[in-house]
């Protein structure tokens, strides 16, 4: 694979930085779009963003990566020495590859020494913002909102509508915080093609690497406390604390924020933040016709259950349908019990439920039913595979 030099294309109200790439079987253009006012902050000296953005594609195809330009010397060392072996350990489909840049650059490109974090208005994101609103040298100067695949698969029509709808709320949220919002859109999802969770860290961080002259520190909200670590091929959230270190450069330091707290403690923090009462967005559903959260998906249920446990659910009436939550609460408690051994967040929630004596026999019966349903489905799948064989 070859990555060629980048260029900037100016439009009416935004600017796009892009680079051509070529593989053994196809070629294309990877691009990132920014509001026009941030044109002068975009890094054109290093190809770090494109290097990180296309790394997984090169590893998946087993193609050595030739970079026709400069990349950060620190980034090159970290990725070739540590991240590529870690990615290979996490997924046997990846191949070891060589990285061959035209030049390594050990120069610090940062000028403005700003700090930033992503604003999704989820629990992890909001807790990160709360913790960094008044911290001398580490206080937030900017928020970002990334359109790199989290709003739907491959940036299709539904995904784009979801992004636009969510963006309206994020703009209002950032305005109330009096922090400027930088919106970044990329076509990386269309290029990589696979599920967002399998590569969200590299997708999102590649967007931010374009702004190394502006951002000195970027807080990337972790999903788990740092005592939970797993090289999971299906979700990089379980090892973000490692990935963020290996994607940092001489100019930009990525920090896995909130990794000192579990999800329950983060939710407690968010529950005391009044702005979250109207903006908390934890939902996986793209249907935003009513309230922000569908109140029935696993993430909605888990968040409502936690808020319920700490006596704060009523404060979030404007973003949740409590009647939907109460209707399926007992069944969901059964699911939490049944999945606690393979879901770290559910394990933490289960321990809290037990400690507060919120689980009874009926909930264990729901857990049994859920487990039997899962095993039945797996058994049927195995039988069908056997018959086809």
pLDDT digits (tens, 9 = 90+) for 311-368: 999 999 999 999 999 999 999 999 999 999 988 999 999 999 999 999 999 999 999 9
pLDDT averaged over every residue in the chain? 92
pTM equals 0.93
Cα 358 to Cα 389: distance, rounded to the nearest angstrom: 47
Are 21 and 29 spatial neighbours (Cβ–Cβ below 8 Å)? yes
Cα 253 to Cα 255: distance, rounded to the nearest angstrom: 6
Position 12 scores a pLDDT of 84
Are 143 and 126 spatial neighbours (Cβ–Cβ below 8 Å)? no
Q: Is the pLDDT of residue 287 over 70?
A: no
Which of 81, 14, 73, 9 is closest to 47 using CA atoms? 73
Provide mean pLDDT across the span 87-116.
96
Instruction: Give me the residue spans of the domains in the chain.
Output: 1-261, 263-372
Q: What is the DSSP letter of 310?
A: T
Between the ranges 145-154, 285-294, 362-371, where is the mean pLDDT highest? 362-371
Inter-helix orientation angle 263-271/298-309, to 10°: 70
Cα 86 to Cα 101: distance, rounded to the nearest angstrom: 21
Cα 249 to Cα 28: distance, rounded to the nearest angstrom: 26
Using 50, 70 and 90 to split pLDDT, how confident is the model at 154?
very low
Cα 21 to Cα 1: distance, rounded to the nearest angstrom: 7
Which of 244, 291, 17, 251 is closest to 112 using CA atoms? 251
Cα 40 to Cα 12: distance, rounded to the nearest angstrom: 16
Tell me: the pLDDT tens digits for 160-192? 777 788 899 999 999 999 999 999 999 998 898
Determine which of 110-124, 260-274, 311-325, 369-383 has the lowest per-residue pLDDT on average: 369-383
* Residue 33: strand pairing partners: 16, 185
Q: CB count, 10 Å around CB of 310? A: 14
């Amino acid at each position: 694979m070859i990555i060629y030099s980048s260029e900037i294309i100016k439009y009416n109200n935004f600017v796009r930085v892009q680079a051509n790439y070529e593989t053994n079987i196809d070629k294309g253009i990877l691009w990132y779009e920014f509001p026009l006012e941030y044109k002068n902050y975009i890094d054109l000296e290093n190809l770090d963003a494109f290097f990180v953005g296309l790394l997984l594609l090169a590893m998946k195809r087993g193609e050595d990566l030739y970079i026709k330009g400069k990349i950060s010397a620190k980034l090159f060392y970290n990725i070739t020495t540590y991240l590529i072996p870690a990615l290979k350990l996490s997924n046997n489909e990846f191949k070891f590859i060589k990285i061959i840049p035209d030049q390594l650059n050990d120069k610090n490109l940062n000028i403005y020494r700003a700090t930033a974090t992503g604003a999704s208005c989820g629990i992890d994101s909001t807790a990160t913002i709360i913790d960094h609103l008044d911290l001398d040298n580490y206080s937030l100067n900017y928020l970002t909102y990334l359109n790199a695949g989290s709003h739907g698969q491959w940036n299709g029509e539904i995904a784009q509508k979801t992004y636009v709808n969510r963006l309206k709320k994020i703009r209002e949220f950032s305005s109330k915080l009096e922090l400027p919002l930088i919106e970044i859109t990329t076509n990386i999802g269309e290029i990589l093609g696979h599920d967002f969770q399998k590569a969200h860290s590299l997708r999102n961080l590649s967007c931010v690497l374009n702004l190394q002259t502006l951002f000195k520190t970027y807080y990337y909200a972790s999903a788990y406390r740092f005592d939970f670590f797993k090289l999971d091929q299906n979700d990089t959230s379980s090892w973000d604390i490692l990935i963020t270190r290996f994607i940092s450069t001489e100019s930009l330091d990525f920090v896995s924020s909130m990794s000192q707290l579990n999800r329950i403690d983060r939710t407690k923090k968010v529950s005391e933040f009044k702005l979250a009462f109207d903006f908390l967005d934890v939902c996986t559903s793209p249907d935003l016709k009513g309230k922000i959260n569908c109140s029935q998906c696993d993430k909605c249920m888990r968040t409502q259950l936690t808020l319920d446990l700490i006596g704060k659910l009523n404060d979030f009436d404007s973003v949740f349908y409590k009647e939907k939550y109460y209707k399926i609460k007992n069944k969901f408690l059964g699911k939490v019990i049944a999945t606690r051994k393979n879901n770290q967040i559910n394990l933490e929630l289960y321990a809290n439920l037990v400690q507060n004596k919120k689980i009874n026999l009926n909930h264990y019966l729901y857990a049994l039913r859920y487990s039997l349903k899962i095993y039945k489905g797996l058994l049927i799948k195995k039988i069908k595979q056997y018959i086809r064989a």
